[in-house]
Structure 1
Amino acid sequence: MTRLGLISDVHGDPVGLELAWSHLMVMGADLIVCAGDLVGYGPFPDRVLAFVTDRRIPSIRGNHDRWALERGPGEPDEFGGGTPAPETLEDLRALEPSLVLEREGKVVVVVHGSPRGDMEFITPRSHPPRILDALLATLGADVLVHGHTHRPMWYRSASGGLVVNPGSIVSVPVVESSRSFAMLDLKAMAVTFHDVESGRLLEVSPWPGSE
């Protein structure tokens, strides 16, 4: 199992989710994982959770997922998203804030914001190479996958470790979105980024200071 499909920040958009899933299946993904924020902003949280559950897509809990749980049943989303049904909230409650996978002798850690919390943004200014190197070393990870920023990124350390954000899937006018997903080849330790609608390859420049 060498090819991991990476998605994040679905935000209640089942159409974008289904498109990304379809492209990744055609591309030969062995497993698809989600870096959180399944709900919020978009109108169809129940459809998103049903899709993820039915297809057994491992996902973690993002900040919008956590906020939905904190609001509780029937409470409206202050960001305009659809109100999750009680069954959807139960599915969200079952999610963990992080996920560790071992594939092809590689350790992959999946978080939403950063390992320090679901609200921390990983940006070039806040996370230069020395910080990303330290995170990989502290976690004992070969790959760190995160989301939250809605912007795709990749960083390769001198030791060959990777930090990857696949970008966001959601397409609603109230939030910025890259409309992208990623494919991670663990054997080659390489990542590619793709457009949600067409599946076409997107060019994403390496993180400043990437090896």
Structure 2
Amino acid sequence: MATRIGLISDIHATPEPLREALGALANAEVATILCAGDIAGYGPDLESTVELLVGSDVRSILGNHDLWWLADQQSEKGGPVADYMDQLPLVAELEIEGCRIVMVHGSPPASVMEGIKLLDEDGEMVDELRDHWRGQLEGFAADVLVVGHTHQVYSEKMAGILVVNPGSTLFNHTCAILTLPEMEVTFLPIGGSKPEPAWNWGMQYRR
């Protein structure tokens, strides 16, 4: 029997798109939800964002904005948000339906800053970028690699690995469902906004 895994990323302390993504994934009856980092940054409401993640038992990792947020909190006394963020790993590894899934915010083995960018500003695949990352991923031990960071939406087989970026719930207006063992990926639009396959700062908050 197939197992559906929900994928989200780059929430950026904005709970409403996250809430809509979690609702869509719940309606799809996913078995679990993975978040590829950048819970913090840009948005106004990290506390509500974390509450939603905890309430839906989302398995998350750290992104660069999360590390920066934690660094800013070093002089503070903590609290539930800091406690939650402090226990998150840089990398998550799990096996589902015989498939080894690795999740990292940027790129393996544990980068939060070097993202796997494959698309141009129009959302079209760039062959040179794909070839570069195919070489970089050669020999990496995973069946599925889940990433975030670049605010791009794609599912691409490279070096024998299915690489999936579900996009940012805030900027791309997307989340994804990974179906195993079929290795199929479905992208879901959220928030009533047109999905942006490749978001960049020139677009600002197109919502």
The answer, yes or no, to whether TM exceeds 0.5 is: yes
The TM-score bracket by the shorter chain reads: 0.7 to 0.9
Residue number in structure 1 paired with 2:49:
48
Q: Could you tell me how far apart the structure 2 residues matched to 1:36 and 1:104 are?
A: 24
- How far did residue 155 of structure 1 move? 0.7
Residue number in structure 2 paired with 1:164:
164
- How far did residue 180 of structure 1 move? 0.7
Q: Deviations over 1:44-77 (max 9, x none)?
A: 00111111122211000010000001111688xx
Residue number in structure 2 paired with 1:78:
none
Equivalent residues of 2:117, 2:152 under 8 A apart: no
Q: 1:95 aligns with which of 70, 88, 101?
A: 88
Q: Could you tell me how far apart the structure 2 residues matched to 1:185 and 1:18 are?
A: 22
What secondary structure does 2:6 align onto? strand
Q: Could you tell me how far apart the structure 1 residues matched to 2:60 and 2:147 are?
A: 11
How many residue pairs are counted as aligned between the two chains? 187
What secondary structure does 1:33 align onto? strand
Moved more, 11-20 or 125-134: 125-134
Residue number in structure 1 paired with 2:172:
178
Q: Could you tell me how far apart the structure 2 residues matched to 1:59 and 1:114 are?
A: 15
- How far did residue 13 of structure 1 move? 1.1
**One-letter code aligned to 1:97:** L
Equivalent residues of 1:98, 1:111 under 8 A apart: yes
What secondary structure does 1:36 align onto? coil
Q: Could you tell me how far apart the structure 1 residues matched to 2:36 and 2:159 are?
A: 25
Superposition map of 1:1-211 within 5 A: 2-72=3-73, 86-115=79-108, 116-124=110-118, 127-129=129-131, 131-132=133-134, 134-135=136-137, 137-138=139-140, 140-157=141-158, 159=160, 161-170=161-170, 177-198=171-192
Structure 2: gaps (5+ residues): 119-125, 199-207
Structure 1: gaps (5+ residues): 76-84, 171-176, 206-211
What secondary structure does 2:59 align onto? coil
Q: How much is the aligned-residue C-alpha RMSD, in angstroms?
A: 2.5
Q: Taking structure 2 as the reference length, what is the TM-score of the superposition?
A: 0.81
Change in Cα spacing, 1:31 to 1:198, as seen in structure 2 (3 Å) is farther
- Percent same amino acid at aligned positions? 37
Q: Taking structure 1 as the reference length, what is the TM-score of the superposition?
A: 0.80
- How far did residue 131 of structure 1 move? 3.0
Q: Could you tell me how far apart the structure 1 residues matched to 2:11 and 2:168 are?
A: 6
Residue number in structure 1 paired with 2:204:
none
Q: Could you tell me how far apart the structure 1 residues matched to 2:43 and 2:91 are?
A: 23
Equivalent residues of 1:132, 1:163 under 8 A apart: no
- How far did residue 203 of structure 1 move? 9.9
